[in-house]
Chains A and B, each alone.
Chain A
């Protein structure tokens, strides 16, 4: 077993509340609890963005938590998947248009899975997370393919240097 297979089997979750009402957050906590038990997919809640693969965002983005959200997203290593939990994280919901709210999460960071509902049910969160697992696998594959492309040797003999061409042209002109 190499590192890639471990990552496939156990994606770690990072949770950030960008200004929501706590409702979706307690449902995420309920997902970790024995009744819904999200750990059977190998998932565990972690507090460190540098170790996590899936970012669960709840709440409409307030002006103050916007920078923290982007910062957390930037600190996560590739490949990463973002799930917006709940109506207000997806679109702004009831808070849309309030003076300190910016609207949905997707205005600031790319979102892969939208989970609807106010409040989101644990079953919906699990469904979204399982969808995110497939996306994570796809992203990992794409990332590895692009690395392989770079490693191919570049045939330098066929490439022409612009300065070289100019040198050749010069004597013809003079």
Chain B
């Protein structure tokens, strides 16, 4: 039994995008215990949504919960508000929402992959992945008008239409991206130095993933087939556009990388199907009703299952809004999967979780 040392990481650290504090208890460079502290960025959005903003404004506020998955938040809120208003949105709006969610998933996954590469010490691969990621940002700008914070979904439908030439641009850029994706898969799969850092580190077994209630790519890399896109059909028709579940068994950092890369492939196929089969209809369902009753919505954000609960009381302001973000479900699994790894690989493991703390803390 060696002597135990406590090493703090955060709240400000080069490998962290946002304030997050981990306290590692190490013994002979091996992590034996981890404490996580994730609530640095708590802002009080839920309370403000129930007091300060009207229910049609809230969809713009909840977009600011998280910049990476803002479309997931706005869409989930719009859906829950539509349930409270008891309206059905046009089919074209559903398809456009799916299109932007999938484009957002591509950019989010590529950002996470580049971050893993950087934290593993592979700076060149970080640069390469970030370079290839720019096409998705340009496409999002072409579709929504902004690089981040799209405000695309509003209560009742979507804010902008997709022009046919923008659709053609998306197909063209995706075609250009395919060889780049294959190149990235080759590097992440076969690069020997990267595999030394990534294979066998941060392992979460299937049983632990089940027990600790893990969601998203983190769970799918451990062999747990959880994906809201596979489970719900009522709000967004995922299976109609060809969704396919992807799982891995290893549960380490390398498996998470491969899950993300393969999901990008699925997203590309979904986007192609959406643009090819885009139905013609109105974009918005107008209503003068006020939200009434209770409703819940689940949506697959890039990091996992996003859950919204809302309660209305026939006024402009909601009575209660509850957001449960995917990273909140993952914190227990994140803390567990550090155990037994070397401290040197902690940065890469943190990046491979793809934590989004502004979602968690709200």
- Which residues of A approach B to under 8 Å, CB–CB? 16-27, 29-30, 32-35, 45-49, 59-60, 62, 64-65, 68, 72, 88, 93-95, 97-101, 118-119, 121-122
Contact = CB atoms under 8 A, between A and B. Distances in A.
B133 interface: yes
Interface in B340-362: 356, 358
A21 B18 CA distance: 9
A68 B67 contact: no
Contacts of A98: 43-45, 47-48, 52
Contact of A17 (B18, B52, B66, B130): B18
A26 B68 contact: yes
Contact of B148 (A19, A26, A45, A46): A26
A32 B147 CA distance: 16
B117 to A, nearest CB: 12
B64 interface: yes
B40 A62 contact: yes
Contacts of B146: 119
Interface in B61-90: 61, 64-68, 70
Nearest to B137: A30
Q: How large is the interface on B (under 10, 10 to 19, 20 to 34, 35 or more residues)?
A: 35 or more
A20 to B, nearest CB: 7
Nearest to A25: B17
Contacts of B282: none
Contact of A101 (B44, B61, B114): B44
Interface string B128-162: 00110110010000000011110000000000000
Interface of B: 11-15, 17-19, 39-45, 47-48, 52, 60-61, 64-68, 70, 111, 114, 127, 130-131, 133-134, 137, 146-149, 356, 358
Given A45-B14, A64-B39, A97-B52, 11 more contacts: A22-B66, A22-B68, A26-B68, A26-B148, A35-B134, A62-B41, A62-B42, A88-B64, A95-B43, A100-B42, A119-B67
A95 B146 CA distance: 20
B64 A24 contact: no
B43 A65 contact: no
Contacts, number: 129
A29 B52 CA distance: 33
Contact of B41 (A17, A48, A118): A17
Contact of B43 (A16, A30, A35, A60): A60
Nearest to A69: B12
B133 A33 contact: yes
B70 A23 contact: yes
A19 B43 contact: yes
A27 B52 contact: no
A33 to B, nearest CB: 3
Nearest to A39: B127
Contacts of A99: 44, 47-48
B148 A33 contact: no
B58 to A, nearest CB: 11
Nearest to A47: B14
Contacts of A35: 130-131, 134
